[in-house]
Amino acid sequence: MEWEEVWVEEWEEAWVVVWVEAWVEEAEVVDTGEDGEFRYVYGPVPSRRLGRSLGVSPIPFKTCNYSCIYCQLGKTSNLTNERKEYFPLSGILEEFEEMVKRIGGNFDTVTIVGEGEPLLYSRIGDLVEGIKRIIDTRLAVITNGSLLYRSDLQEELSNVDVVLPSLDAWDERSFRFINRPVRDLSFNVVLEGMVSFRGRFKNQIWLEVMLMDGVNDTPENLRKLRSSIDRIKPDEVFINVPIRPPAEPWVRIPKDEKISLAERILSGKSMAYIPEGEFHAGSKDVVESVISLIKRHPMRECELKKYLMDRLKNEDDVEEVFKTILSDPKLEMVEGEKGRFLRMRTK
């Protein structure tokens, strides 16, 4: 499939999403009404960068100002640049405090990450302060970095220990092809925002680059990325690859030599492996706990069965519950380059 052909096809689709969205009236605070004990907090899950990570998700499923070709959650269904209190702050903090009571301090990092772009949450500053009052541990925010140009957000993130933005493109055309943003975002605004944020933020910035075969892995493109990275001056650069099934099936993992080349040119560390470790979910119901995890973090089939064995301790019970999970219409098993993954259904 040709690059230009894909760009036109996917960008036209993204515009349709924006147009439809304009006609949808939403309440100030959205409540999904889903079953289960925990709606906003999940894990801990093993993270390649952050160790055992307890996740906090203040954004509804697939609500983002990007619709990246590599997103492990699938195509964005609510493409928006509107910041608001999507979920009540008090509910998130109450749930977080309850989870901490249940599991103690058995995690390395609290990560505000979301099922979309967490900086769209208008009370993220209050969320940061609330989490800090409950527990004194490393706090990270994983973001696409698109809103870091905003001075209010720069202030709201000032007490975060690690901010992890992403940069996969090097100019406007590659930005719109790879990240497929809302209309009112441009590459220059995003890049200058990250540079401005670096000037104010005194803690750690770990920049992530998603490397994709034939998309941004040529020496020329990597050198252009390096020029932007040099301006941002992150403390670390992590090179990720689309291990979990991406939004677009033609997105592929680069060859090992391309990953090594990117490490050299970008002075980065490769994250081209799947982290090993135990998953945890707060819900006492096994099926609910699996759905809670998969909603934010697609799982390999072997990871899921290991998780079920840890919970159930019996192979027959594991197989029975595994079949029940696979029959859930909200979930789908998809083939990835690194095995079969269970994720939320994308259509």
Give the pLDDT means over successive 10-residue stretches in the chain (347 positions). Answer: 43 36 33 57 85 93 95 91 97 96 90 93 98 96 98 98 98 98 97 98 97 97 98 97 91 95 96 54 63 70 78 80 81 77 73
- Please tell me the distance from the alpha carbon of residue 247 to that of residue 76, in angstroms, as a whole number: 9
Q: Write down the pLDDT at residue 346.
A: 65
The per-residue pLDDT for 290 is 73
pLDDT of 339: 75
Superfamily of domain covering 3-298:
Aldolase class I (3.20.20.70)
Contact between residue 146 and residue 90 where contact means Cβ atoms under 8 Å apart: no
Give Cα 198 distance to the centre of its chain: 21
Rounded CA separation 8/191 (Å): 23
What does the pLDDT read at residue 195?
A: 98
Tokens of 78: 């609510």
pLDDT recorded at residue 91: 97
Global pTM exceeds 0.85: no
**pLDDT for the residue numbered 211:** 97
Task: Tell me what pLDDT residue 347 has.
Answer: 62
pLDDT at residue 163, rounded to an integer:
98
Residue type, 116: G
| CA atoms of 217 and 210, how far apart (whole Å) | 10
